[in-house]
């Protein structure tokens, strides 16, 4: 299977030129390891590190992917070519706490697979970070998760990509009364594609799928969601906040599919973009396919600039313009971050946002 | 403290201020009254450094320095405060974060050390209590969900917290009920000191019942057309602007 074409609607805003350039070039063996200390979030829990797709400090294992997902060009490529991955299984009624997986792209192409299985009423908070070591590369990750009845998964994916392309597709299957919370925080000057597919297969399941894309310079950050409500009485909420600066392009396509039998689905979606310079671009696309008749599907979309009146108000109280812009931008993305429980995780991600804003100020 | 000389400004290609001159000394309270469209708010915005206003002639000095050469945030650090006629709502930025950021940004520019959280909160409690503002309310986004009166009280609260040298208050009395007017006026009176000055922009005498001005000016057609003592405001209330501005 080859790389997808931008003529296909679901790839129209993706920038895959770095994937083409690195296609088929396997990442070299790790003779020396890049510094990764700063890439971990300061939270407790187990850690797994992959450099150029190879495990560092832990055994290689190849997880079994979910077999019955629709074909996906990049996710299937990851499953076919990843030398190894991470498999996490949490037993029923067990709290897995926090866990972090860090994937660092070096050069060439590195594929990876992460597989999560949560037993009934099990819980896990997983942070996956995709970063680079300063060279052109393509890092491509597949994430598959199955949640049994009443299970709860929080997955935060941070894409801090300065060079090349980082792409990832998360596919999550939800059984009765399970909850999935997804937060993508994507920033950096490289290109990124982040995709989430949620399959509501069990009644009473809920998905919260949020994202923050912060693009500067020539970054092309592209996100796509497909929330598939296949059975009755399921809910989903999506909150995406995109910020474009420099000549960056930030895009999100928010998809909701409601099957004929999925009565009483409640799907809510809010997509907003802030364009900090006239040279940056933002694309927002709500995409709703509804075949049931008793559903609530709200969606809202706005693209705007920083509020000039608010900027002057802050400046008139003594706050210099760059700081005022940072304060307003931070407030703009706060809605999407607020999905996480108070504590170390949200504080750590807040710092990510600050780092990005300070670098721009 | 503030000396405005022959100030001409345009906005959107239209001349609004047409040779305005004004001198405010430390310790004084000045009131500027005038008909709609006279240029009162323009004067406040130009002095505070709002973008979109072009000064085509004249000068404004503040404590001897060229006010017009400074950016808006530098004017604030120099001691100028603009109380907004329509305070802006800023969701997601709490009142307390905003004020502390502002206070410390001003102090940094003046070469003073940052204020500690303890000292900051101590002052917040005193000022908020004096204005009847709930602390819980101050943890919310700036002016978000505030009534018109609460927004103006919040302006007075910021005035008390930031302790500027010159308060430029643009129709602070608009939208206030009788009790709120008294509370906000008390805030302004508490601010008065021999080394500070106040410039009140207002349509109505009623604010001046609470905050006694030393000098009242009538602004019409982009210029100060008449200045006098507190009696001038009473005369305006009785006779209207037309007779005086003519």
Assembly ipTM: 0.94
B90 to chain A: closest CA residue: A310
Instruction: Compute the distance between CA of residue B221 and CA of residue B59 in angstroms, rounded to an integer.
Output: 19
What's chain B's Rg over C-alpha atoms?
A: 18
SS3 of B45, please?
helix
Helix (H) or strand (E) holding A90, with range, is strand A85-90
The rounded distance, in Å, linking the Cα atoms of A4 and A19 is 10
Euclidean distance between CA atoms A298 and A301, whole angstroms: 11
Residue B242, token pair as written in the block: 């037309």
Closest in B89, B101, B109 to A327, CB measured: B101
Integer CA distances (angstroms), A82 to A53, A78, A86, B8, in order: 7, 5, 11, 70
CA distance A145 to A274: 32
Cβ-Cβ pairs closer than 8 A, A with B, add up to: 79
CB atoms within 10 A of CB B133: 20
By C-alpha distance, the chain B residue nearest A326 is: B93
> CA-CA distance, B34 to B29, in Å (whole number)?
17
| For testing contact with chain B, the best of A316, A331, A337 (most B CBs within 10 A) | A316
Tell me: pLDDT of B241 over 90.
no
pTM value is 0.87
Residue A144's nearest CA partner among A192, A97, A122, A112 is A112
Query: pLDDT digit string (tens) for B38-84?
Result: 889 999 999 999 999 999 999 999 999 999 999 999 999 999 999 99
Could A315 and B71 be called an inter-chain contact, meaning their C-beta atoms sit closer than 8 Å? yes
Residue A169 scores a pLDDT above 60: yes
Percent of the residues in chain B that have a pLDDT greater than 70, as a whole number:
98
CB B71 within 8 A of CB A321: yes
Using a CB–CB cut-off of 8 Å, the residues of A that contact B are 307-310, 312-321, 323-324, 327-328, 330-332, 334-335
Q: Which of B117, B72, B155 lies closest to A308 in space, CA to CA?
A: B72
pLDDT tens by residue, B165-211: 999 999 888 878 888 888 888 888 989 999 999 999 988 888 888 88
Q: What is the pLDDT of residue A269?
A: 96
> Are A147 and A118 a contacting pair, CB within 8 Å?
yes
Per the DSSP assignment, residues forming a β-bridge with A17 are none
* Nearest in space to B53 (alpha carbons), one of B2, B11, B91, B95: B11
Residue of A302, A317, A338, A354 to mutate when probing chain B, most B C-beta within 10 A: A317
Nearest to B93 among A309, A316, A327 (CB): A327
Q: Smallest Cα–Cα separation from A198: which of A240, A153, A251, A247?
A: A153
Retrieve residue B34's tokens: 């005038």
Q: Among partner residues A312, A320, A332, which is closest to B105 by beta-carbon distance?
A: A320
The separation between the first and the last C-alpha atoms of chain A, rounded to the nearest angstrom, is 43
8 A C-beta contact, residue A225 and residue A253: yes
Over the stretch A213-233, which tens digit does the pLDDT of each residue have? 999 999 999 999 999 999 999
- Please tell me the predicted confidence (pLDDT) of residue B245: 55
Distance of alpha carbon A141 from alpha carbon B74, whole angstroms: 49
């Amino acid at each position: 299977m080859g790389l997808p074409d931008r003529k296909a609607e679901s790839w129209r805003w993706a920038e895959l030129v770095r994937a083409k350039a690195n296609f088929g070039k396997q990442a070299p063996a790790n003779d020396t390891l890049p510094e990764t200390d700063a890439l971990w979030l300061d939270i407790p829990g187990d850690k797994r590190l992959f450099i150029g797709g190879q495990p560092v400090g832990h055994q290689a294992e190849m997880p079994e992917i979910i077999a019955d997902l629709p074909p996906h060009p990049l996710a299937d490529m990851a499953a076919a070519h990843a030398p190894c991955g991470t498999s996490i299984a949490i037993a029923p009624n067990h709290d897995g706490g926090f866990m972090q997986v860090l994937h660092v792209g070096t050069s060439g192409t590195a594929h990876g697979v992460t597989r999560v299985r949560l037993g009934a009423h099990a819980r896990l908070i997983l942070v996956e970070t995709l970063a680079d070591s300063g060279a052109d590369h393509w890092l491509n990750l597949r994430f598959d998760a199955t949640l049994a009845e009443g299970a709860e998964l929080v997955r935060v994916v941070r894409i801090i990509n300065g060079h090349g392309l980082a792409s990832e597709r998360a596919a999550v299957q939800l059984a009765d009364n399970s909850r999935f919370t997804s937060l993508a925080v994507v920033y950096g000057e490289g290109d990124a594609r982040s995709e989430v597919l949620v399959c509501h297969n069990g009644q009473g399941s809920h998905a919260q799928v949020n994202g923050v894309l912060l693009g500067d310079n020539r970054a092309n950050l592209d996100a796509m969601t497909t929330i598939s409500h296949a059975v009755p009485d399921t809910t989903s909420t999506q909150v995406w906040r995109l910020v474009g600066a420099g000549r960056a392009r930030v895009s999100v396509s928010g998809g909701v599919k409601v099957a004929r039998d999925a009565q009483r689905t409640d799907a809510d979606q809010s997509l907003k973009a802030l364009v900090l310079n006239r040279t940056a671009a933002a694309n927002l696309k709500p995409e709703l396919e509804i075949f049931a008749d008793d559903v609530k599907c709200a969606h809202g979309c706005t693209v705007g600039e920083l509020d000039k009146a608010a900027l002057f108000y802050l400046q008139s109280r003594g706050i210099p313009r760059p700081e005022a812009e940072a304060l307003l931008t931070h407030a703009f993305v706060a809605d999407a971050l607020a999905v996480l429980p108070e504590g170390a995780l949200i504080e750590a991600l807040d710092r990510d946002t600050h780092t990005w804003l300070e670098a721009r100020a | 403290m503030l000396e405005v000389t022959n100030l001409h400004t345009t906005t959107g290609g239209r001349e609004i201020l047409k040779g305005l001159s004004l001198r405010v000394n430390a310790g004084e309270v000045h009131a500027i009254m005038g008909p709609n469209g006279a240029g009162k708010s323009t004067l406040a915005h130009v002095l505070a450094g709002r973008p979109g206003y072009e000064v085509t002639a004249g000068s404004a000095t503040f404590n001897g320095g060229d006010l017009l050469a400074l950016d808006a945030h530098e004017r604030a650090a120099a001691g100028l405060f603009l109380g907004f006629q329509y305070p802006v709502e800023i969701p997601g930025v709490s009142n307390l974060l905003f004020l502390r950021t502002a206070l410390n940004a001003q102090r940094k520019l003046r070469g003073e050390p940052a204020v500690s959280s303890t000292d900051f909160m101590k002052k917040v409690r005193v000022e908020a209590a004096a204005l009847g503002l709930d602390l819980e309310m101050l943890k919310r986004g700036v002016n978000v969900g505030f009534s018109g009166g609460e927004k103006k009280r919040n302006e007075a609260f910021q005035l008390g917290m930031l302790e500027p040298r010159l308060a430029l208050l643009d129709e602070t009395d608009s939208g206030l009920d009788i009790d709120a007017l008294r509370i906000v006026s008390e805030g302004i009176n508490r601010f008065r000191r021999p080394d500070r000055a106040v410039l009140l922009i207002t349509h109505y005498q009623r604010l001046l019942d609470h905050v006694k001005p030393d000098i009242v000016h009538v602004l019409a057609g982009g210029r100060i057309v008449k200045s006098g003592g507190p009696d001038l405001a009473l005369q305006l209330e009785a006779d209207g602007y037309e007779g005086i501005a003519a």
